[in-house]
Amino acid sequence: MLIPGHIDPVVTPRAITPRSDGRIDLMGLSHLQIRQLFEESQLDEKAAKLRSKQVFHWIYHRGVTDFESMTDISKTMRPWLADRFVIGRPEVVEAHVSSDGTRKWLLRTDDAQDYEMVFIPDADRGTLCISSQVGCTLNCRFCHTGTMRLVRNLTPGEIVGQVMLARDVLGEWPKGNMAFASADEDDDDDVGHYTADGRMLTNIVLMGMGEPLYNFDNVRDAMKIVMHGDGLGLSRRRITLSTSGVVPMMARAGEEINVNLAVSLHGVTKEVRDELVPLNRKYGIDELLRACAEYPGISNARRITFEYVMLKDKNDSDEDAHQLVSLIRQYKLPAKVNLIPFNPWPGADYECSDPERIKRFSSIVFEAGISAPVRTPRGRDIMAACGQLKSSSEKKSRAELDRLAEEKQVALG
């Protein structure tokens, strides 16, 4: 049984594992790690420093997957690299496009674990929803991922590989001398928009499978590459990490990753949140909201997003909406609320609130001066909603679901 702990509850594959042919996949490795590997492969210090910088740029900034395309590396050096290293991508098992333009991919790791990624194009932005784990140790009762056993954490390569793959598919690697927007771009608005070079993929949300703060190191290392000016060059303001409330890791997330924070609240009383998000029994609402108030860098320009899934007769009353407002006020949180219509799945215990109820809930929160938009369901025809990833074929009986929930609860202590 895997025991979720404060920091990193599950076994993580080593980031640097040679493949069966002995070559090492450079995907997900930092500049320093690539440099160290080159030194271990007998390049002298000066050459390792220069070559690692060039290779890092080609891999992450240009998106190349073969050493032959690295034109500023000598023709004799390229086969030397190809003999020792590869630049991988996640294997695509299935790719779907919804009638509304949403795309979903089922991906497979080298050890045959499946995980999913979704791209949601909007008029003013394109959001990629990526996974951090295969399955999840937590067991939120309304979440389909919660019904799966955690298989393992994704490596930095598998996390950053999702973004790289999306850029491949969307054809969004820079060509010629096309300039990237700087990673430090100084736009204080948190509304995404097409960048000057017309890219579709403008935003990333860690809202796919898994709890990112239970795979902290790998998520951090992957996001560092995504944000690096010579890497994928995405501003931290365009990245949002969603947590179910792993309180002990929130301050570190703010210090070491410092992307936008989303918190899956879903309930405003102990009773309801204990049921919906069992982690609440370990880290309660007050503790969670205190950690939110202390999250580095929050301001009216950079608010915390509270996700709130709308469940009929469970958490959707006027009283719930008023309580939500008073909690946000009590902790003086610069906050916005994302109301998510529940996306049903086979065997789920809940129903989605009626549209009228959701509207009423939203207007109560809005009237208190807090933005509370209702998230439009996207890609329903391909089961693409974030938080409902992984194929629907894995149906479990109610008894199995309860047993799994119980096991995970015991593990939480």
List residues near ligand SF4 by CB under 6 A.
136, 138-140, 143, 145-146, 210-211, 244, 264, 387
Contact call for residue 387 and ligand SAH (CB under 6 A): yes
Strands (E), 22-156: 24-25, 85-86, 91-97, 103-108, 114-121, 126-129, 133-134, 152-153
How many whole angstroms separate alpha carbon 384 and alpha carbon 101? 11
Strands (E), 61-202: 85-86, 91-97, 103-108, 114-121, 126-129, 133-134, 152-153
Contact call for residue 343 and ligand SAH (CB under 6 A): yes
Contacts of 397 (CB under 8 A, 6+ apart): 347
* Sign for the pseudo-dihedral over CA of 185, 187, 190, 196: negative
* Residue 292 annotated as catalytic: no
Interface positions, 120-149, toward ligand SAH (CB under 6 A): 140, 142-144
Contact call for residue 388 and ligand SAH (CB under 6 A): yes
Element of type H or E holding 51: helix 45-56
Known binding residue 211? Answer is: yes
Residue with tokens 């999702």, as numbered in its chain: 162
Query: Alpha carbon of 407 to those of 171, 345, 410, 413: distances in Å?
Result: 44, 21, 5, 10
Beta bridge partners of 118: 104, 129
CB of 119 to ligand SAH, least distance (A): 15
* Residue 116 annotated as catalytic: yes
Helix, strand, coil % (nearest 5) of the chain?
35, 15, 50
CB of 211 to ligand SF4, least distance (A): 4
CB of 181 to ligand SF4, least distance (A): 30
Taking CB under 6 A as the criterion, the residue among 218, 242, 258, 362 binding ligand SAH is 242
Q: Are 343 and 385 in contact (CB under 8 A)?
A: yes
Known binding residue 343? Answer is: yes
Q: Are 315 and 276 in contact (CB under 8 A)?
A: yes
Known binding residue 144? Answer is: no
Shorter beta-carbon distance to ligand SF4: residue 211 or 316: 211
Shorter beta-carbon distance to ligand SF4: residue 127 or 264: 264
- Kindly state the tokens that stand for 46: 């000066």
Contact call for residue 309 and ligand SAH (CB under 6 A): yes
Taking CB under 6 A as the criterion, the residue among 244, 315, 353, 362 binding ligand SAH is 244
Picked from ligand SAH, ligand SF4, none, the partner binding residue 240 (CB below 5 to 8 A depending on kind) is: none
CB of 265 to ligand SAH, least distance (A): 8
Among the options 129, 292, 352, 386, which is catalytic? 386
Known binding residue 234? Answer is: no
CB of 39 to ligand SF4, least distance (A): 39
Among the options 40, 116, 185, 407, which is catalytic? 116
Q: How many residues bind ligand SAH (CB under 6 A)?
A: 20
- Kindly state the tokens that stand for 253: 């997330």
CB of 69 to ligand SAH, least distance (A): 35
Q: Specify burial of residue 50 (Cβ count, 10 A radius: 0-12, 13-18, 19+).
A: middle
Picked from ligand SAH, ligand SF4, none, the partner binding residue 307 (CB below 5 to 8 A depending on kind) is: ligand SAH
Taking CB under 6 A as the criterion, the residue among 328, 335, 340, 370 binding ligand SAH is 340
User: 90: number of CA atoms within 13 Å, CB side?
Assistant: 33
Shorter beta-carbon distance to ligand SAH: residue 109 or 242: 242
Shorter beta-carbon distance to ligand SAH: residue 192 or 267: 267
CB of 327 to ligand SAH, least distance (A): 17
Residue type, 232: L
Picked from ligand SF4, ligand SAH, none, the partner binding residue 56 (CB below 5 to 8 A depending on kind) is: none
Known binding residue 140? Answer is: yes
Known binding residue 96? Answer is: no
The gap from C-alpha 386 to its chain's centroid, in whole angstroms, comes to 10
Query: Alpha carbon of 130 to those of 123, 133, 350: distances in Å?
Result: 20, 10, 25
Known binding residue 242? Answer is: yes
In the complex, which residue's CB is closest to ligand SAH? 387
Of 254, 243, 239, 248, the residue nearest 296 (C-alpha):
254
Interface positions, 361-380, toward ligand SAH (CB under 6 A): none
Q: Are 59 and 27 in contact (CB under 8 A)?
A: yes
Shorter beta-carbon distance to ligand SF4: residue 140 or 328: 140
- Kindly state the tokens that stand for 118: 């979704």
Residue with tokens 């000016």, as numbered in its chain: 229
**Interacting residues toward ligand SAH by CB under 6 A:** 140, 142-144, 207, 211, 242-244, 264, 307, 309, 340, 342-343, 345, 385-388
Catalytic (active-site) positions: 116, 386
